[in-house]
């Protein structure tokens, strides 16, 4: 098992290479005023066997095909990291994804939820590990501890299609494989809730190369070794998704608005509602037909405005086809350690000629791991592994 193969020396190496979150955000609402997040506000099913779906934006440099097994994510070279990101957010909810992971040592398949202030919930599959899948979570991009990752038994995920689910509420996160629960995170267990994922999130699906020739040693070890591209292509299939947006219990949500001075708590998020039959632009622009419903009390607002805000620096480094080796978006953005047990983390993967990112599986003190989260509409900007790991939005 991969979780048992990594040495203490590798863990130390990974820790020295990852000093910050593996994530990146275009606008952190806890630090400045940002645009409202468009809400999904309902339940939808996406069937990729029928082709592309308008709910998802394809990242720059990503080319997908579609067939009887769903959306086809193909990697032929180490700079490729095909990724798609939802253009709507959910504010708590349940997501079921049917996926067949990509094979190949060093190749990572990722299913990630990520918010504007770097809350994150993940599933990650290593192409060379035929017996396990990893889960992880992050709150506010904080990687100061390495006790969040977990491993779960699953037979040949690169050859079989399974349903992987995340049920996310203000009280808990639960992970399921084929409807069987394999893990639970309670609010209070995430540093008394301060590191519990609790802000509106996008859904990101993709694959990336952690076994790049220029990846940090700890990342390569976590991924199982260097990727042998003589065995390419490496293909993952995403068949379907069912997405339920709980909207924090508010009906007809059209937008999620962060209160000024938000500390990143779910109580500081306002749910903007409107006529469910009207489009998002009409609902959000008409103050007469839209009503802001706050999930916080006036005393909580006061507390939020007076509380100290978390600050987390995320750094991204440009990568180009001619640039010197940058860590693979997923790999470069994360080289952490992951516990071998049974939830999900931050993602980033740096790519030279295609945009990508990956989600990181944060580990306990015994296994270096890295993960790749996909940044919405991946640009050609890649996350430098030598810098503070950046995670995609």
Instruction: List the catalytic residue out of 78, 80, 98, 120.
Output: 120
Residue 288 counted as domain residue: no
Q: Respond yes or no: is residue 300 known to be catalytic.
A: no
Whole-prediction pTM: 0.71
The SS3 assignment for 254 reads strand
Query: Which pLDDT tens digit goes with each residue over 149-195?
Result: 999 999 999 999 999 999 999 999 999 999 999 999 999 999 999 99
Residue 390 counted as domain residue: no
Instruction: List the catalytic residue out of 78, 80, 124, 347.
Output: 124
Whether residue 356 has pLDDT greater than 90: no
Where residue 108 falls among pLDDT bands split at 50, 70, 90? very high
Distance, CA of 112 to CA of 204 (rounded, Å): 5
Q: How many domains does the chain have?
A: 1
Q: Respond yes or no: is residue 124 known to be catalytic.
A: yes
Residue 202 counted as domain residue: yes
348 CB-near residues (< 8 Å, 6+ apart): 22, 23, 24, 329, 330, 332, 333, 334, 357, 358, 359, 360, 371, 372, 373, 375, 383, 389, 390, 391, 392
Average pLDDT over residues 223-252: 97
For the sheet with 253-258, list strands across it: 37-38, 253-258, 269-273, 291-294
- The whole domain housing 239 covers 2-246+314-382
Distance, CA of 370 to CA of 348 (rounded, Å): 9
**Strand boundaries in 91-171, DSSP class E:** 93-100, 107-115, 120-126, 132-138, 150-153, 162-168
290 or 99, which is more confident: 99
Where residue 147 falls among pLDDT bands split at 50, 70, 90? confident
Distance, CA of 145 to CA of 202 (rounded, Å): 24
Where residue 226 falls among pLDDT bands split at 50, 70, 90? very high
Whether residue 331 has pLDDT greater than 60: no
Residue 388 counted as domain residue: no
pLDDT value, residue 162: 98
Identify the CATH number of the domain in which residue 137 sits: 2.60.120.200
Residue 59 counted as domain residue: yes
pLDDT value, residue 275: 57
The two three-digit tokens of residue 230, written as one number: 């003589």
Whether residue 312 has pLDDT greater than 50: no
Whether residue 348 has pLDDT greater than 90: no
Residue 293 counted as domain residue: no
Q: Which helix (H) or strand (E) holds 302?
A: helix 298-306
Query: Which pLDDT tens digit goes with each residue over 256-282?
Result: 999 999 999 999 999 999 854 333 333
Can the peptide bond before residue 224 be classed as cis, meaning omega within 30 degrees of 0? no
Whether residue 390 has pLDDT greater than 80: no
Query: Which pLDDT tens digit goes with each residue over 13-66?
Result: 333 233 223 457 889 999 999 999 999 999 999 999 999 999 999 999 999 999
Residue 292 counted as domain residue: no
Residue 281 counted as domain residue: no
Average pLDDT over residues 224-251: 97
């Amino acid at each position: 098992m991969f979780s048992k193969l990594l040495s203490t020396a590798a863990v130390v190496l990974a820790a020295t290479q990852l000093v910050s979150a593996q994530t990146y955000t275009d606008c952190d609402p806890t630090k400045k005023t940002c645009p409202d997040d468009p809400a999904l506000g309902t339940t939808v099913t996406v069937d990729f066997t029928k082709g592309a779906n308008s709910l998802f934006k394809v990242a720059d440099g990503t080319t997908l095909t579609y067939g009887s097994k769903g959306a086809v994510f193909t990697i032929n070279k180490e700079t490729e990291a095909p990724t798609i990101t939802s253009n709507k957010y959910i504010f708590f909810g349940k997501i079921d994804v049917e996926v067949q992971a990509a094979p190949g040592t060093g190749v990572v398949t990722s299913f990630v939820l990520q918010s504007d202030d770097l809350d994150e919930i993940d599933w990650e599959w290593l192409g060379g590990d035929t017996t396990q899948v990893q889960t992880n979570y992050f709150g506010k991009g904080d990687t100061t501890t390495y006790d969040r990752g977990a491993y779960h038994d699953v037979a040949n995920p690169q050859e079989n299609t399974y349903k992987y689910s995340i049920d996310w509420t203000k009280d808990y996160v639960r992970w399921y494989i084929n409807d069987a629960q394999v893990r639970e995170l309670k609010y209070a267990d995430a540093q008394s809730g301060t590191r519990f994922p609790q802000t509106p999130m996008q859904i990101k699906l993709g694959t990336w190369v952690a076994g790049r020739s220029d990846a940090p040693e700890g990342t390569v070890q976590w991924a199982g070794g260097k990727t042998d591209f003589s065995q390419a292509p490496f293909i993952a299939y995403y068949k379907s998704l069912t997405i339920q947006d709980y909207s924090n219990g508010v009906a007809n949500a059209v937008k999620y608005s962060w209160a000024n001075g938000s500390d990143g708590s779910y109580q500081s998020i306002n749910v903007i509602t409107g006529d469910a039959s009207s489009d998002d632009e009409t609902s959000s622009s008409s103050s007469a037909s839209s009503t802001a419903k706050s999930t916080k009390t006036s005393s909580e607002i006061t507390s939020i405005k007076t509380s100290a805000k978390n600050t987390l620096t995320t750094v991204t480094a440009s990568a180009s086809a001619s640039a010197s080796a940058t860590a693979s978006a997923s790999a470069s953005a994360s080289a952490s350690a992951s516990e071998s047990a049974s939830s999900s983390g931050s993602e980033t993967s740096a790519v030279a000629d295609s945009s990508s990112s990956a989600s990181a599986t944060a580990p306990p003190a015994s296994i270096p791991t890295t993960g790749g989260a996909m940044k919405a509409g991946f640009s050609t900007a890649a996350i430098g592994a030598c810098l503070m790991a950046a995670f995609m939005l």
